[in-house]
Structure 1
Amino acid sequence: MSEKETDVSDDVLQFHRVVEDAPLEKLRKVLAIGMNVNAPGRLGQTALMVAIAAKNLEKIKLLLEFGADPELTDRFNATALEYAVDHDFVEAVQFLIKLGVDRGYRPKYPLKQVHYDWDFLESMQVPMPEELRGVMSEDEWNSLSNPRDILEEHGQNPSVEPLITQVQSVECLQFFLDAGDDLCLAPAEIQRDYIGLGSTTKFQCTKKEYWSHKSPRFGSSNPEVMGNPFWNDMVKLGCNAYAARKRFKDDNPFSNPGPVWCYDRFGATLTQLSDGRFVQIGGEHEDYYDPDFCIYNDVVVHDGTGEFEIYGYPKEIFPPTDFHTATLVENAIYVIGCLGYVDQREIGVTPVYRLELDTWCFEQVETHGDIPSWLHRHRAQFDASRNVITVEVGDVQVSKDSDNATLSPNTDQFELDLGSLKWRTVDHQPK
């Protein structure tokens, strides 16, 4: 995709070529004669972005010394840090984060509208795979593979997302985590590497074990240890339910209805404990129209070396939960908010649960005060000095009927006092 160009002066183009190719001392001389270090080049790139793409840390430092602004963006609203992440330039990621640049939460400058080259996008249209015919229509596939409406909306009303969502290596991920970012925002494959998974390449369970354990189920106690050969394989492989069906020749979900248990999920949380373990909670697989759509209420505890334990719960103790937050507070994790199934959602209610880490038992937490309502896709952070969890952004459900639900962006910041269990509205955030 590209954007229509405006003219870029020859001086700027020549300057950027010096940044990209010339020795450091030549760049120093060009800067010393007064070249505008922040002049935008092709697609709005700054000299700093060019140096990052060239993976030259010394030039990055020199440009900053001469006044380069690391918060400036190109025409697609990408910052210098985003360039460093996209190029997996580990040293630059570390350097820029230490400078304190925005990590994709609160941009310094207003976002720019983006104009896309639709002829180019349509030329890249991908045909629908044969495996999906009968599962979705041609129009549904076209909207997914070339989502013009979504891109137009994003271009006219641009938004940012945390740059941890784009990291390509464990090394870069660690810098974001050290800065306070949420591990569960990282790409799934990088999360798997970070917690010690990813070495298994094929199923170990038998066909009989697949058919015995293919279906999700709730636990019968708080908690119930629920590992079995098929579920264990799914955790180790990280594959989707479709791949499992294909492996065991269960590829007609209409003759064998019901979802296949799957660990490839959206909206799960992954929390690192001080002893090196990791706790993944809930999440969903696929969208509502898919035969393997399921929202989970389980907990998977990883030891960091590839071993893990799966715990299940009665849905009355801990319901199916996705797009929540999981906040570590001493020896417990507070699970706040949820999207859930339609019939779970209650206007004016924010579900809060506490997972005790010594027993792995869940307990519902009754709260009061200025309750945020049915909240999901939000962020949460614990302030130990005040014993409060701060919640912001995300979406809230503001109405509900049998067929439709109206969601609204959460424009408020809330605090939950863990001593009094009272919510209060802290601040109204601009949209």
Structure 2
Amino acid sequence: MDQKSKREVNPEIKQFHQVVKEGTLAELQQRLESGIDVNAEGDSGMNALMIALEAKDLKKMQLLLTRGADPELTDDHNATALDYAVSEDFAAGVQELLARGVDRGYHPKYPLKKIDYGEDTFDFIKINMPEELKGEMSEEEWLESFEETKALMEEMGQNPTVEPAIVGVYSVEVLKLFLAAGDDLSLASPEMKRLLLKLDDQAMFQATPAEYLKYKSPRFGTANPERMDNPFWSDMIQIGGNAYQAREHFQDGTAFEKPGVVWCADRFGSSLTPVKEGRYVQVGGEHEDYYDPDFYIYNDVVIYDGKGSFQILGYPKDVFPPTDFHTATLVEDTIYLIGGAGYPEQRKPGFTPVYRLHTGSWKIEAVKTSGEMPGWISNHRTRYEPTKNTIRVEAGKLSILNEDEELDLVTNQSEYELDLSTLVWRKLKSD
């Protein structure tokens, strides 16, 4: 992990940590027999277990765990042992920790620590202007940017949050361990998703200018579903391209010169779900923010075979509206699509949209539910509980009406479950 902080560390603890880092297993055993605190903090709040993981030493890690090392403890930047294993791409360490049921970045065992980045950190940022920015901005602009960065870091330090460990994964081997543990593939980085789907990193545009002009705009399907593969859309998926890249390649002018959204595969808030036969199903997502000329929320489905090939399906807007930041939960041969942000005019405070995507026919249908719904929820998490045949919903943001009858986003503080046998919602608890 990065960012070491300075602190006074007991010399005995320093020696102990040095043995963990560079000593033999027998030497570590001897130190532990002396009764030293296995969870004692050293530089940056690191403990012995974190040091063993940073050294990618499985035997030392296992020995420390048997001697009481707590894998849920955090360093000065709220990183756990699992975060260290992920940052080192240490698959054996990740597997060991996941098998022990450690938190994966969703429900930290201990309160988060406020982070003091210190002036040394800010001085480093201030002095070391990246080479690629020299000539692109003035020294004055860089200093202004630095002050903004400093203010943001200080705010984050005083109000720390954690993100799921899967976000930092950078190998398919480790990614599959998290998927087996029940994590949502949608949370992985775009680069990891492309690796998993075996999309070609060297792909280039193959579509002709005429094909680009014919297919450049998004459109809704006319059937449930409609096969919508075409040369330009296929190129965009292979490349992982955005609207700007396409406009540049086909010399189509900027979005301001030639208004009209360009279809693209570079999206936020889409879901990606593993299904049978090594396939993966991507649903919806948005490109850019609302103020960008190429902002668009999609309602399509892309089915990947996991070997580099895919097909694109479209749907009528009244069958399946545009969706982003929803969840996709696989239950046997059906994917339940719950919530989502959508366009402002779609949002119905108090109502939770639910759709079923059938992986045999690829038809989508709206699901009529009742009971105590979460409301118009997005950026949330779901998990299927087979013993109860329910889908649990937690975290996320809710769209609610304020006193002025305008939409506000607030944090969801409650948990809910949808009974798939009765299609009735039930509120479980509030924080």
TM-score of the two chains, using structure 1 as the length reference: 0.91
- Over 3 Å counting, the alpha-carbon distance change for 1:401 and 1:364 in structure 2 is farther
Counterpart of 1:50 in structure 2: which amino acid? Answer: I
- Measure how far apart 1:246 and its partner are: 1.8
Percent identity between matched residues is 50
- Measure how far apart 1:2 and its partner are: 4.5
2:36 is the alignment partner of 1:35: yes
Counterpart of 1:265 in structure 2: which amino acid? Answer: R
- Measure how far apart 1:274 and its partner are: 2.2
**Superimposed CA distance per residue, residues 334-389 of structure 1 (whole angstroms, 9 cap, x where no aligned partner):** 11101111111111111111112222121111222112111000111122222221
**Matched residue pairs, number?**
422
Counterpart of 2:191 in structure 1: which amino acid? Answer: E
- Over 3 Å counting, the alpha-carbon distance change for 1:384 and 1:61 in structure 2 is closer
Long gaps (5+) in structure 1: none
> Please, which moves more after superposition, 257-266 or 118-127?
118-127
Q: Which residue in 2 is equivalent to 1:186?
A: 188
Q: Which residue in 2 is equivalent to 1:120?
A: 124
2:157 is the alignment partner of 1:166: no
Distance 1:349 1:126 in 2: 47
Distance 1:401 1:190 in 2: 43
Long gaps (5+) in structure 2: none
Query: After superposition, where does 1:267-306 map in structure 2 within 5 Å?
Result: 267-306=269-308
- Over 3 Å counting, the alpha-carbon distance change for 1:266 and 1:124 in structure 2 is farther
- Over 3 Å counting, the alpha-carbon distance change for 1:147 and 1:206 in structure 2 is same
- Over 3 Å counting, the alpha-carbon distance change for 1:412 and 1:317 in structure 2 is same
Confirm or deny: 8 A CA contact 2:244 2:254 kept in the other structure: no
**Superimposed CA distance per residue, residues 78-109 of structure 1 (whole angstroms, 9 cap, x where no aligned partner):** 00110000111111111111122111111121
**Superimposed CA distance per residue, residues 169-217 of structure 1 (whole angstroms, 9 cap, x where no aligned partner):** 0000111111111111111111121122234421111222112211111
Q: Which residue in 2 is equivalent to 1:316?
A: 318
Confirm or deny: 8 A CA contact 2:5 2:43 kept in the other structure: no
SS at match of 2:277: coil
**Superimposed CA distance per residue, residues 119-154 of structure 1 (whole angstroms, 9 cap, x where no aligned partner):** 334445669979x99xxxx79x949x9544443332
Confirm or deny: 8 A CA contact 1:121 1:146 kept in the other structure: no
**Superimposed CA distance per residue, residues 46-92 of structure 1 (whole angstroms, 9 cap, x where no aligned partner):** 11111111111111112223222111110000001100001111111
Confirm or deny: 8 A CA contact 1:122 1:146 kept in the other structure: no
- Over 3 Å counting, the alpha-carbon distance change for 1:64 and 1:8 in structure 2 is same
Confirm or deny: 8 A CA contact 1:113 1:155 kept in the other structure: yes
SS at match of 1:262: coil
Q: Which residue in 2 is equivalent to 1:386?
A: 388
2:309 is the alignment partner of 1:307: yes
CA RMSD of aligned residues (A): 2.5
SS at match of 2:44: helix
Q: Which residue in 1 is equivalent to 2:235?
A: 233
2:367 is the alignment partner of 1:365: yes
Distance 2:402 2:317 in 1: 22
**Superimposed CA distance per residue, residues 291-315 of structure 1 (whole angstroms, 9 cap, x where no aligned partner):** 2211110000111211111011121
- Over 3 Å counting, the alpha-carbon distance change for 1:152 and 1:251 in structure 2 is farther
Confirm or deny: 8 A CA contact 1:86 1:167 kept in the other structure: yes
Q: Which residue in 2 is equivalent to 1:16?
A: 17
